Structure 1
Amino acid sequence: MDQLKIKLQEYLSDDRLVLVDDALKFATKAHEGQMRLSGGPYINHPIAAAIHLADLYLDEKTIAATLLHDVVEDCEVPLETIQDRFGDEVAKLVDGVTKLKLLKAPQQDDDENSKSSNDRSENLRKMLVAMAEDIRVVLIKLADRLHNMQTLDALRPERQIEIAQETLDIYAPLAHRLGMGEMEWQLEDLAFRYLEPLQYKRMSRILSSKRKEREDYIQKIASLLEQALSTAGYHFEVTGRPKHLYSIYKKAQAYASIGKEISDIHDLFALRVIVNTISECYAALGIVHGLWRPLPGQFDDYIANPKGNMYQSLHTTVRTADGSPVEIQLRTYEMHQNSEYGVASHPSYKEGVQIKGNQFEERMAWLRQLLEWQREVSSSDEYVESIANDLFADQVFVYTPKNEIRELPKGATSIDFAYRIHTELGHRCIGAKINGRLVALDTQLSNGDTVEILTSKIARGPSLDWLNPHLGYVKTANARQSIRSWFRHQERDTNIDRGKDLLRKELRRLNSDIEDIEIAKWFRYSSENDFYAALGSGVVSVAQIAGRLTAIKATLGSQLDVSLNELGPVTATGVTVLGVGDLLTRTAECCSPLPGDQIVGFVTRTRGVTIHRQDCTNIYNVSEPERIVPVEWGQSRDVFPVRIAIESIDRMGLLHDITGATSTEHVNIAGSSTESLNEGTVIVHLTAQVTGLEQLSRLLSKIESVRGVKSVNRSLRRTP
């Protein structure tokens, strides 16, 4: 309590402290008699969270709301009481935090697991929307989570792991996205301690064993640098800092993947130079490079090209006199505040005034986009999935032709770039140039690329193929939502016709005879037309159909009127024979069934049970129907042969390009042949080995995108 008051007195005047003192008295009274699992009075928790935010110099209303953040939920204090006593703004913050319940961990029961997953998505949605409406709500939540992590040892082990994983998956990335570097690394290290205790101890041991030797060496380098900066007449600070443990662990993992040891990591400690102005940053960089030789490829200018969370600094790695590499970061005092405290360092959260700035506006633009997306999607699961890449993925930085920088998630394409600039630009996109070179629209962007979008003169609209995840055209939520929105606004009859054509094409490609109404029911549509419209507008994707075909196990026992007494074993083919045990099974070569196909078994006289597709002509013509037995797909990692027919324009390099498309799916081609239809057209017959219908659908989509290919279908005829 005294620690909080001392900290607040550093930056709040006496008249502004009145609100905090009143909130502290109210919270202490409300939590009277309540204890934490760690053994101390409950009031210690909101005080500790408030201290974390006082370290960021946040305003008195945020501190008051932090002290009161549990009284509505845990003490049954009406929100109206908070509003009457502390005002609308504090009440709104308390209400926002109260609504952000702990994200529940999945249960074991399937129904409960589904419900819990929905709860998790809904709560994450609430948090992100609350963050977009008032960032202080999430600042309070982050402080609340940080103190909970600091006292996590009081909980049972399984709960520790649940909370630590959630912290690493959600809260630490949020802190990073908001530019709050210190909060981020504290959350990461605390989560790391519980999730990987052995690795945590190992990293601690490695850092401790080298700490004294490395600190002495860094101090020697720092002294040389300080002397040079003093001679140049700069006002500066030079500090040495160790990397935090989780950062070292991630780097060690990356090194291990390329055959390097943790001993090869040279930047366990780094130097940080802080000066007054941007020009002094570059001048100091010149001094650094004058003292030591910079390592090629180890310089990053985040001042000219800030990161997506508005982090700015110059990073360079130099080789010192004894040959050891040292990382040195150079920044201004303002940049340092931003890098440590991010959005919380902005004056509007310190002094209670609305001061605008370019960096702050860019951060707020990203947050406002969260609100726009949540208005466009119908479910929490879709919303969480749609923002996951943009929020948590690594980022790349690219340029417009006017040299304006844009940030996109790693793996983004030119189409994503077009929609990030403007929705209409995305709708009219027909091509792209990267660094002046014409490229395919699914080409992934790299750091430093300059991207130019080629457009049609008429508003032709996007292609529905852009929503197919197997084709890799779009990565970002913004692009997906814009494309879906365009198709949703088309006439219903147009979407029905488009959806019907897409379904026919996909079922023909997979050679499946499932009834349309059955597929509609899988997706919980009561009529075929409603399902067609959803498919035609992009609400349901073609890829989901193949996934459902694989997931739903077709059991035909009731259709064949066979008594089912027990489940037989899952054999090497991944098929369960119902009512019979210990029988060898194999897939029939005549129809080559795949997981997801409707199947039946035929009991042979000498070779066990042969598995056929239900619509196989050999099953229709069987003379002893009593030997047909019901079977269903079990769980198997086996691969199955499937025949594919590809109609294409004949050209040089066709087989090479088709093989390249199959290699991206890691599919083995067991056989191939070609058949000429007429002048300039060929049929390529492939026998591929796939894990099921879902992989087959992805494979067909990849082959269909090869230049010159007219159609791709699953074939029931044997390869010539």
Structure 2
Amino acid sequence: MNQIDIEKVKQINDVERAIAHLRSFITSPAVERAFALSSTAHEGQLRKSGEAYVVHPVLVAALVAELTGDEAMVVAGLLHDVVEDTQTGIEAIKEDYGNDVAHLVEGLTKIDMIRDSELIPSHSDQKLVVSALTFRKMLLASIEDVRVLVVKLCDRLHNMLTLDALPEAKQHRIAEETLVVYAPIAHRLGISFLKNLLEDLSFKYLFKEDQAAIQKYLQDNYRSIQGRLNEFCTKLSQIMLSEGLCSDDFEILSRVKHDYSIYLKMQRKGIGIDEILDLLAVRILVQKPIDCYRVLGMVHLHFQPLNARFKDYIAIPKENGYQTIHTTVFDESAIFEIQIRTNDMHATAELGVAAHWKYKSGGNNAISLDWLHNLQYQNESVEAFYELIKNDLYSEDISVFSPKGKAFTLPRGAVALDFAYAVHTAVGDGAEGCLVNKEKASLLSELHNGDIVKIVTSGSQKKITRCSWIDTVKTSRAKSNMRANCNHRIRTVDAQSGINILSLIFKLTPEKISEILQDEGLDDQCYRIPREFDFLKEVIHRIEDGLRETSRFGTFWSRKRFRLKSFVYASIEVLSNQNTSDAVFDYCCHPKSGDEIVGFMIDSKAHIHHKMCKNAATMIEKHEPMVFVRWMQQQFNRYHLIISMPNAQGSLAELLTYIAKMGADINSIELGKEKSEHTQYCEMEFQTLENDLNRLKSKLEKKGKIIQFFRTDDAYRSQG
């Protein structure tokens, strides 16, 4: 396809040239009527640049026309601001232009409820919320019709082309949203040229110095770069002609990677532009798919390939329909990335979903929009929704296979558990293990292109919760389902814990407490008891009043009997009507500050466990006495320690366990700075909420001889 002449569009700033440009791509009565309505609706309105506002919808429509050639989408582009800016309603548009156009305009209007002028400044904590809300509205408004996204992307492209007229702060805000919201969607829709344009335009405003440096390098080295490209293309052409292809059978295109792509490679690898291996790229277009493999053979016979860089997206297309063979080869002192595809594949690679309208038989059937429909199951806040799926939308993909050969597309870095959830939610929930390429592997094993994965499930309907793994999996599908399972389990644990806490307070059996809560209509709110102290007090009062009324000794009861007292031990506060002597961290789970915790009363001590600890789960099910516990909201104190301890097996493990049970988090550790036959030195930094240095020192002295111990935020308190 011919690339859109962006510079030409950018120079058009009057209505006459704008409508002439639109008419060069499409003319129809509906388009003319829509232009007339848009002109009337926006009469007298000016953009910040001073040009008539109607120039914007006309040029958006022209971009849509050049990209798709679809009349309904072009008309929607002309009318996309009319409903919001005038009294014209959706019903009127439906009557004049039909259901199809009205449906598209309605979808665009929903997205436009958040205008660019309402974007929150970049330094605001609410920035993510706004981007996420825009992101969600765009996706959900387009689930029924992806054409809405295509028109909206053209709208954003024209806004980016005219960004110079806006204040610098607003330029930055809009460019930032374009980079994190619009470019990823263009990528997932397969419209690569539009994705690249949006990225480069955003890059220019967000990282001006970096963009200028890349441009300077390319300009300074233009002759050398172009010379290498021309020489290599000539070699390729001669090879293909000598191998029996005619000049009409192929076309060779050459390019330098686009600016933002170069910048990302530099950032990811920590290298300079002159160190990028595949800065130069060549594309070979042929007639038939079989010709792609013929050309690949010719290339590999004459140039040394880098095996690790070979990818066959013809045999295994990307989800967005992209089909191309990628290979990277050496040629004397230069390295070239070569892409081999047919002309139809090229149209799909450049236009993605838009190829369906641009070329009515345009080889677009392979494009999957399942990713768009899968977003419907999300039920998180807009921020969580955004964080969950943005990586799905904009990540380099890998293809892995089931044992029966079914291909699954996953983001790079995905693990076996991501694959399990891609197969089916039930498979992910019940996954116990896996085989990768017929070898036993962990469910957290990173997958690679071409891996064959078999998931081993428990065979039962029970869901296996793995809350600590949520940050390790990559796909939103895995994260969302695992988080839902964990939230359900935590709620169950909290409900059981609430009953156990009340059981200890009132010295009643858990069965009796459950019966009382049901009578009080509180049985479905038990989960709040270990979470909310005020709610716990409210429940205690209600149960107390009920018991007073039903007990013949009720008049002799004292509320003090059930009053909860606060016991503070370093980082933990215990609230109980039982006398408590200490709070200790059990060895099995070592909860860190901020983790969700539960407390068990054992011999007047509160034993603290992570809420997801297996031992804690067993104790909860056995109705062991429990107390309300929570972290103290205090500042951490950082300490530096050098301690001499026995040079014996297990001594370090014993020390670390001891420190963890004190409620401290270790930041760094170094062993063996000085060592003898009988002793060794251990140097570490740790943090704890305990601020009494002498109390800490006396505890640590039980495990070894302290050489040096002080608070790092107050070196004058150094203890030798």
TM, length-normalised to structure 2: 0.67
| 1:478-521 CA distance string (max 9 Å, x none) | 1233345567789x9956446769999xxxxxxxxxxxxxxxxx
How far is 1:80 from its partner? 2.3
| 1:79-132 CA distance string (max 9 Å, x none) | 22222211121112111111212364435998xx55x65444333211111122
| 1:338-392 CA distance string (max 9 Å, x none) | 1111111124x765x9x996522x2x2111111233xxx1532332233233223
How far is 1:178 from its partner? 1.1
Aligned twin of 2:339: 329
Which residue of 213, 238, 245 maps to 1:227? 238
Aligned-partner Cα distance in 1 for 2:481–2:363: 29
Kindly report the root-mean-square deviation, in angstroms, between the aligned alpha carbons of the 2 structures: 4.5
Aligned-partner Cα distance in 2 for 1:501–1:305: 54
Mapping 1:554-565, distance limit 5 Å = none
| 1:219-250 CA distance string (max 9 Å, x none) | 23222322333442341111111211111122
Counterpart of 1:236, as a letter, is F
Counterpart of 1:337, as a letter, is A
Aligned-partner Cα distance in 2 for 1:302–1:215: 28
Aligned-partner Cα distance in 1 for 2:19–2:398: 43
How far is 1:633 from its partner? 4.5
Q: Which range moves more in the overlay, 50-59 or 268-277?
A: 50-59
How far is 1:36 from its partner? 1.0
Is 2:548 the counterpart of 1:531?
Answer: no
How far is 1:458 from its partner? 2.2
Aligned twin of 1:278: 289
Q: Is the Cα contact below 8 Å between 2:191 and 2:352 reproduced in 1?
A: yes
Which residue of 155, 176, 183 maps to 1:144? 155
Aligned twin of 1:425: 427
Aligned twin of 1:28: 39
Q: Is the Cα contact below 8 Å between 2:45 and 2:52 reproduced in 1?
A: yes
| 1:424-474 CA distance string (max 9 Å, x none) | 2223211111122212222232333221101123222222xx2335x7553
Aligned twin of 1:303: 314
Q: Is the Cα contact below 8 Å between 1:418 and 1:429 reproduced in 2?
A: yes
Aligned twin of 1:366: 371
Gaps of at least 5 residues in structure 1 are: 505-524, 536-558, 561-589, 598-614, 616-630, 643-649, 673-685, 694-713
Mapping 1:537-556, distance limit 5 Å = none
Q: Is the Cα contact below 8 Å between 1:499 and 1:534 reproduced in 2?
A: no
Distance 1:453 1:333, change over 3 A: same
Distance 1:422 1:266, change over 3 A: closer
Aligned-partner Cα distance in 2 for 1:263–1:109: 34
Distance 1:467 1:396, change over 3 A: farther
Mapping 1:369-448, distance limit 5 Å = 369-373=374-378, 377-448=379-450
How far is 1:143 from its partner? 0.6
Aligned-partner Cα distance in 2 for 1:499–1:209: 69
Which residue of 59, 69, 88 maps to 1:77? 88
Q: Is the Cα contact below 8 Å between 2:492 and 2:527 reproduced in 1?
A: no
Q: Is the Cα contact below 8 Å between 1:594 and 1:691 reproduced in 2?
A: no
Q: Which range moves more in the overlay, 310-319 or 184-193?
A: 310-319
Which residue of 178, 191, 201 maps to 1:167? 178
How far is 1:212 from its partner? 2.6
Q: Is the Cα contact below 8 Å between 1:389 and 1:476 reproduced in 2?
A: yes
Aligned-partner Cα distance in 1 for 2:85–2:181: 24
Partner SS for 2:94? helix
Distance 1:273 1:65, change over 3 A: same
Aligned twin of 2:467: 467
Q: Is the Cα contact below 8 Å between 1:393 and 1:410 reproduced in 2?
A: yes
Which residue of 25, 29, 42 maps to 2:53? 42
Q: Percent identity?
A: 34
Mapping 1:89-100, distance limit 5 Å = 89-100=100-111
Q: Is the Cα contact below 8 Å between 1:467 and 1:473 reproduced in 2?
A: no
Distance 1:49 1:309, change over 3 A: same
Is 2:262 the counterpart of 1:263?
Answer: no
Distance 1:356 1:717, change over 3 A: farther
Q: Is the Cα contact below 8 Å between 2:187 and 2:393 reproduced in 1?
A: no
Partner SS for 2:47? coil
Aligned-partner Cα distance in 2 for 1:452–1:716: 54
Aligned-partner Cα distance in 1 for 2:286–2:501: 63
How far is 1:2 from its partner? 7.0
Aligned twin of 1:569: none
Aligned-partner Cα distance in 1 for 2:50–2:199: 25
Is 2:256 the counterpart of 1:251?
Answer: no
Distance 1:691 1:198, change over 3 A: farther
Partner SS for 1:56? helix
Q: Which range moves more in the overlay, 290-299 or 176-185?
A: 290-299
Distance 1:108 1:404, change over 3 A: closer
Distance 1:467 1:217, change over 3 A: same
Aligned twin of 1:342: 352
Aligned-partner Cα distance in 1 for 2:337–2:172: 34
Distance 1:172 1:654, change over 3 A: same
| 1:304-359 CA distance string (max 9 Å, x none) | 23334332211222222x43222221111111111111111124x765x9x99652
Q: Is the Cα contact below 8 Å between 1:487 and 1:495 reproduced in 2?
A: no
Aligned-partner Cα distance in 2 for 1:312–1:121: 31
Distance 1:472 1:716, change over 3 A: farther
Distance 1:11 1:144, change over 3 A: closer
Aligned twin of 1:700: none
Partner SS for 2:461? coil
Mapping 1:83-162, distance limit 5 Å = 83-100=94-111, 101-102=114-115, 104-106=118-120, 113-114=125-126, 117-162=128-173
Distance 1:73 1:640, change over 3 A: farther
Counterpart of 1:366, as a letter, is W
Is 2:491 the counterpart of 1:478?
Answer: no
Distance 1:25 1:358, change over 3 A: closer
Moved over 6 A (4+): 1-11, 487-490, 501-504, 525-528, 532-535, 593-597, 650-659
Aligned twin of 2:330: 319
Partner SS for 2:432? strand
